[in-house]
Amino acid sequence: MHSLNLLPTDWETKRFRIRRIQAAEAGQVQDFYEKVMPSTGWNEGTFNPTYISDAMAGKPELPPNGEVGRVLMQLAERKESGEEQDIAALIEMYHGYPGEQDLYIGLFGIDPNYRGLGYGKEIVAGIVQAASELGFEKVRVAVDLKNWPGLRFWIGCGFTEAVKVKGEWEHGEEAIAVIELAMSIEKG
């Protein structure tokens, strides 16, 4: 990839419309973010009560030397409900981290009411397909090691390459550790 291509701001799968989050939705999306975040103890770092409003104000959480223009925050809305704002998932991606040909899924949360229905796998498959068409070589995600449902989900989606583990050296109830998983993809 000589120039960085970004995933489309609006796209679809069979059951979902995926679109960029609008600034006016920050409060509603923050509520959704709080609903889909893993329970305390699973997430690396501290829960951020202004995560969405910060991102909408041009101050998203970034990787080292990250650029705001490489962040894409989206909502996945169910088509079948026929209602606007039937949000099933929240997605945040960073284009070009850690390498230029990597797409990093920084946040992926499914509404607890819609878990176990294949929705997440369908959306992730769409992300991987779009990344392939744009010439990305890997899609990456970090999963907290105590988040067993999350680990099962991502491994089931094909993220079977363990890239790195970071966190505390000793196991304990309050200890935090994260594994970064990757999927190598073929160019579309």
Q: What is the pLDDT of residues 152-177, one digit of tens each?
A: 999 999 999 999 998 888 877 778 88
What is the distance, to the nearest Å, from the Cα of residue 70 to the centroid of all Cα atoms in its chain? Answer: 14
pTM of the model: 0.89
Sketch out the chain's domains with CATH numbers: 10-184 (3.40.630.30)
pLDDT at position 128 is 97
- pLDDT-derived band of residue 142, with 50, 70 and 90 as boundaries? very high
Quick one: average pLDDT of 16-22?
94
Two tokens, residue 58? 């041009």
Q: Is the peptide bond before 60 cis (omega within 30 degrees of 0)?
A: no
- pLDDT-derived band of residue 41, with 50, 70 and 90 as boundaries? very low
- pLDDT-derived band of residue 1, with 50, 70 and 90 as boundaries? very low
Two tokens, residue 43? 């997430």
- pLDDT-derived band of residue 50, with 50, 70 and 90 as boundaries? confident
Q: How far is CA 187 from CA 15, 70, 98, 138, in A?
A: 25, 20, 18, 10
- Identity of the residue numbered 99: G
The answer to whether 74 touches 18, Cβ cutoff 8 Å, is yes
pLDDT at position 4 is 73
pLDDT at position 53 is 87
Question: Percent of the chain scored above 70 by pLDDT?
Answer: 89
d(CA 164, CA 168): 13
